[in-house]
């Protein structure tokens, strides 16, 4: 098998725990954090994501909890999660493999409507059952009744703190946060993907959208919509179909930079100064 020998014991444990034989292992495109493998087994194909258990504690447990919550909503396709396994210093997340195909003609319309159905899943408080990760950074999910409190305390403040520790000067963040109470409308928490850029969905075998690699929470639904607009790659018909099924409050377009700030701060803290000017501009705009 042409794979990293360090993972052999983890592969063996996964096979034993699930009572299947692994016939072949091949690498799939992953990210900076995880190595991803396609396992051809005696019981269909599986995907195994592997990373350092000590470097990213609880990452796969959080991802599995989020994916299970998305799947339970029965709004949009997500792969089934099978289990989290650890061996030596490695952790693995085993999941169902999704065959891919070409988009159906109405792919983007379906995407918009299914995302709206997902966001209609709600609960009383913002947050989630456990903390998780956004990229390789921890993401806090303590419960809040107020939408702005959640966004400031669980999303912005940890990124502001990390940016400051790395020597970045962002401007008047306190004034920016105070302004949000007058800008962001009250709305129920929505079950969101949480990291919905164009690399985090697949086109499944039926030609329909399938979500992967989430940072799930019950959170402001405009966060997903704003992230989709940040790096592009989504047709305008996604938004048209979404809004027709689940309209947003007036002034959404003006609020988009507010939600994008969180994701830009994450990129600043992960990848460096290339994102600093965008962060400072948004903070100054609303301060």
Q: Let me know whether 242 and 143 are in one domain.
A: yes
Is residue 280, in this structure, part of any structural domain at all? yes
Q: What is the arrangement of strands in the sheet containing 22-28, beginning at the earlier edge strand?
A: 22-28, 35-41, 45-52, 90-96, 81-87
Average pLDDT over residues 239-266: 98
Q: Do the Cβ atoms of 176 and 148 come closer than 8 Å?
A: no
Residue 11 has pLDDT above 60, yes or no: yes
**CB 234 within 8 Å of CB 225:** no
Q: Is position 89 within any domain?
A: yes
Exactly one of 35, 77, 195, 224 is catalytic; which is it? 195
Considering the domain boundaries, does residue 154 fall inside one?
yes
Which of 96, 131, 154 finishes a domain? 96
Q: Could you tell me if 92 and 111 lie in one domain?
A: no
> Is 112 found in the same domain as 77?
no
CATH number at residue 29: 3.30.200.20
pLDDT, tens digit, 9 for 90 and up, residues 60-84: 999 999 999 999 999 999 999 999 9
Q: Which helix (H) or strand (E) holds 202?
A: strand 201-203
In a domain, 102, yes or no: no
Angle between helices 276-286 and 252-271 (to 10 degrees): 140
Q: In the listed set 56, 72, 96, which residue is the last one of a domain according to the structure? A: 96
State the average pLDDT for the chain: 96
Nearest to 117 by CA among 187, 221, 204: 221
Task: Report d(CA 236, CA 109) in Å as an integer.
Answer: 9
Q: Are residues 193 and 111 in the same domain?
A: yes
CA dihedral 11, 17, 18, 24 (to 10 degrees): 20
Confirm whether 167 is domain-assigned. Answer: yes
Separation of alpha carbons 75 and 4, rounded Å? 37
The reply to whether 241 and 182 lie within a common domain is: yes
pLDDT value, residue 264: 98
Does residue 242 carry a pLDDT above 90?
A: yes
Shared domain for 134 and 161, answered yes or no, is yes
271: tokens are: 């990848």
Whether the predicted pLDDT of 8 surpasses 60:
yes
pLDDT for 18 equals: 96
Q: Percent of the chain at pLDDT above 70? A: 98
Q: What average pLDDT does range 2-7 have in this prediction?
A: 66
- pLDDT-derived band of residue 1, with 50, 70 and 90 as boundaries? very low
pLDDT at 165: 97
Tell me: pLDDT of 212 over 50. Answer: yes
Compute the distance between CA of residue 69 and CA of residue 72 in angstroms, rounded to an integer. 5
261-282: pLDDT as tens digits: 999 999 999 999 999 999 999 9
Residues 42 and 23 sit within 8 Å (Cβ to Cβ): yes
CB 76 within 8 Å of CB 114: yes
The CATH number that applies at residue 129 is 3.90.1200.10
Same-domain status, 271 and 219: yes
Whether 101 maps to a domain, the answer reads no
Size (the chain), residues: 287
Task: Give the pLDDT mean for 159-173.
Answer: 97
- The model's pTM is 0.95
pLDDT at residue number 4: 62
Asked if residue 54 belongs to a domain, the reply is yes
Say how far apart CA 4 and CA 148 lie, in whole Å. Answer: 45
If asked whether residues 249 and 187 sit together in one domain, one would say: yes
Catalytic residue status for 149: no
235: pLDDT strictly greater than 80: yes
**109-124 pLDDT tens trace:** 999 999 999 999 999 9
| Alpha helices per DSSP H over the chain | 8-18, 59-72, 107-119, 147-150, 157-165, 173-183, 222-230, 236-245, 252-271, 276-286
Confidence of residue 30 (pLDDT cuts 50, 70, 90): low
Burial of 184 from C-beta contacts in 10 A (0-12 / 13-18 / 19+): buried
Report how many domains make up the chain.
2
pLDDT for 93-107, tens place per residue? Answer: 999 999 999 999 999
Tokens of 239: 């938004």
Q: Are residues 56 and 140 in the same domain?
A: no
**Domain-ending residue, one of 62, 96, 130:** 96
234 and 113 within one domain: yes
Residue 127 included in any domain? yes
Nearest to 258 by CA among 278, 283, 276, 233: 283
**Residue 281 sits in the same domain as residue 230:** yes
Helix axes 252-271, 157-165, angle to 10 degrees: 40
Same domain, 176 and 157: yes
> Which of 29-43, 168-182, 240-254 is predicted with the least confidence, judged by mean pLDDT?
29-43
Domain that holds residue 39: 5-96
């Amino acid at each position: 098998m042409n794979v990293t020998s360090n993972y052999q014991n983890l592969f063996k444990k996964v096979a034993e725990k699930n009572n299947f034989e692994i016939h072949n292992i091949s690498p799939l495109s992953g990210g900076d954090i995880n190595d991803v493998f396609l396992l051809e087994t005696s019981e269909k194909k599986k995907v195994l994501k592997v990373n350092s258990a000590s470097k990213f504690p609880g990452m796969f447990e959080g991802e599995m909890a989020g994916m299970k919550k998305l799947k339970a909503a029965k709004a949009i396709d997500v792969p089934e999660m099978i289990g989290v396994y650890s061996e030596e210093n490695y952790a693995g997340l085993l999941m169902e493999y999704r065959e891919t195909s070409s988009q159906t003609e109405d792919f983007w319309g379906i995407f918009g409507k299914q995302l709206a159905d997902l966001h209609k899943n709600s609960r009383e408080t913002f947050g989630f059952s456990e903390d998780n990760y956004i990229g390789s950074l921890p993401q806090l999910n303590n419960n809040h009744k107020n939408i702005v409190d959640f966004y400031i305390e669980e999303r912005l403040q940890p990124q502001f703190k990390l940016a400051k520790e790395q020597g970045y000067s962002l401007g008047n963040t306190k004034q920016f946060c105070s302004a949000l109470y007058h800008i962001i409308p009250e709305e129920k928490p929505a079950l969101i993907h949480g990291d919905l850029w164009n690399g985090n969905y697949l086109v499944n075998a039926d030609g329909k959208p399938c979500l992967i690699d989430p940072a799930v929470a019950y959170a402001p639904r405009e966060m997903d919509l704003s992230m989709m607009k940040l790096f592009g790659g989504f047709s305008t018909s996604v938004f048209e179909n979404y809004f027709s099924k689940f309209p947003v409050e007036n002034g959404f377009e003006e609020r988009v930079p507010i939600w994008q700030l969180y994701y830009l701060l994450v990129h600043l803290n992960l990848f460096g100064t290339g994102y600093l000017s965008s962060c400072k501009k948004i903070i100054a705009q609303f301060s």
